[in-house]
A and B are shown apart, each in its own frame.
Chain A
Amino acid sequence: MRTDTGIIGFNEKIGGGFPEFSTILIKGPAGIGKTTFCNQFIYQGLKKNEAAIYMSFNAPPEDVKENMKKFGWNIEGKIVLFIDVYSWQSGTMATEKYVINDPADLNEFNIKIFKAIKELSDKNLKRCCVDALSTLFVYIPSDLALKFVSSLFARLKTSKITSLATLEKDVLDTRVVAILESLTDGTIDLGFDPTEGTQRLIRIVRMKNTKVSSLNWMEFEIRDNGIRVI
Chain B
Amino acid sequence: MKISTGIEKLDGLLGGGIKSDSSILLLTDNLVDKSSFAQHILSTRNLEGDKCLYVTTSKLPSHITKNMYEYGWEHKGLVFIDCISNTLKEKPKSRYALKTNITTPKAFEETLKLFKQALKDVKEPKTVIFDSLETFMGIGAEKIAKELEELKQLFEDTKTTCIYLLTDWGYEKKELGKIYNAMDTVINLSTVEKKLLWMNYFQFNGSPKIFFQITQTGVNLYVPKILITGPFHSGKSSTVHAISEKSVSVDRLGTTVSLDHGYIEKKGMVCDVFGTPGQERFDWILKILSRDIWGVILVVDSTRPETFDRAKEMLAQIKGYEIPFVVFANKQDLPKALKAEVIKKRLGLPVVIGTSAIKNEGLEEGLKLLFDKIFNI
Contacts and interface: CB of A to CB of B under 8 A. Distances in A.
Contacts of B135: 140-141, 144
Interface residues of B, number: 33
A75 interface: no
Interface stretch (B57-65, B215-223, B337-345, B356-364): B57-65
Given A139-B88, A142-B138, A102 B169 contact: no
Nearest to B83: A104
Nearest to B60: A102
Top 4 closest pairs, chain A to chain B, by CB: A143-B138, A147-B169, A104-B58, A105-B58
15 contacts: A93-B66, A104-B58, A104-B88, A106-B58, A106-B134, A107-B58, A107-B167, A110-B30, A114-B31, A141-B138, A142-B138, A144-B169, A147-B134, A147-B137, A147-B171
Given A93-B63, A103-B88, A139 B102 contact: yes
Contact of B103 (A121, A142, A148): A142
B58 A151 contact: no
Contacts of B35: 105, 107
A151 B196 contact: no
B115 interface: no
Interface string B115-152: 00000000000000000101111100000000000000
Contacts of A114: 31, 198
B272 interface: no
B222 to A, nearest CB: 16
B229 to A, nearest CB: 29
Contacts of A103: 88
Given A111-B30, A114-B31, A141-B135, 6 more contacts: A104-B58, A104-B88, A106-B30, A114-B198, A139-B103, A140-B135
B169 A151 contact: yes
B33 interface: yes
A150 B169 CA distance: 9
Contacts of B18: none
B60 A107 contact: no
Contact of A102 (B59, B134, B138): B59
Contacts of B66: 93
B102 A148 contact: no
B103 A137 contact: yes
A114 B31 CA distance: 8
A91 B198 CA distance: 31
Interface in B311-328: none
B254 interface: no
Nearest to A149: B169
Interface string A139-175: 1111110011011000000000000000000000000
